Amino acid sequence: MLTEGQKKLLEDLKNSLGQAVPEAELLEGLYSRTGYHLEVRLIMRGMRRVAREMRARRFYLETITAVDFLEAFELIYFFASYDLEPFRVMTRIRLPKEASAFTLSAIYQEAIWLEREVYDFFGIRFLGHPNLKRILLPDEVDYFPLLKTFGKTRLTEEIDDILC
């Protein structure tokens, strides 16, 4: 059940995001079931406009992850605010496999690290990123381990040869 403050914030966000990103689909979420109060769905564009709107409302960028659907990626961004009332927003953006996303690093500095992690595990490139390189895996690896097409690589075959 939403508090009065959360209800007001939800309505304000739906109005402002509806104006800033008219192509977005805005869906209310039941926090106890979904973990968010509002879901924003986009196809290919509009993410920076959403981020600017969230920044203006004092939300912080909690995390970025992705899902590999074989034919396309879905980038998932979580924004949260604890100013007056706890409130979370999930934004999904569908991205063709060959496309790159725009970085949010000019809006949220924490995006620098989060986008590097997504690149490291999925191979999704972020246009305009100031330092897009691997963050956890060694630079010489030739794979992205969270892709559904991930299988044997030169490095994993070498490891198998050593261990088996």
Q: Where are the domains of the chain?
A: 4-163
Amino acid at position 128, single letter? G
d(CA 156, CA 143): 10
CA 12 to chain centre: 22
The reported pLDDT for the residue numbered 161 is 72
Residue 162 has pLDDT above 90, yes or no: no
**What is residue 108's three-state secondary structure?**
coil
The reported pLDDT for the residue numbered 158 is 73
115-160 per-position pLDDT tens digit: 999 999 999 999 999 999 999 999 988 889 999 887 766 666 776 6
Structure token pair of residue 15: 């109005």
Residue 62 has pLDDT above 80, yes or no: yes
Q: What is the mean pLDDT of residues 79-91?
A: 92
Residue 101 has pLDDT above 90, yes or no: yes
Which one is the CATH code of 4-163: 3.40.50.300, 3.30.210.10, 3.40.50.2000, 3.30.460.80? Answer: 3.30.460.80
Cα torsion 15, 102, 80, 147: sign: positive
The pTM is what? 0.89
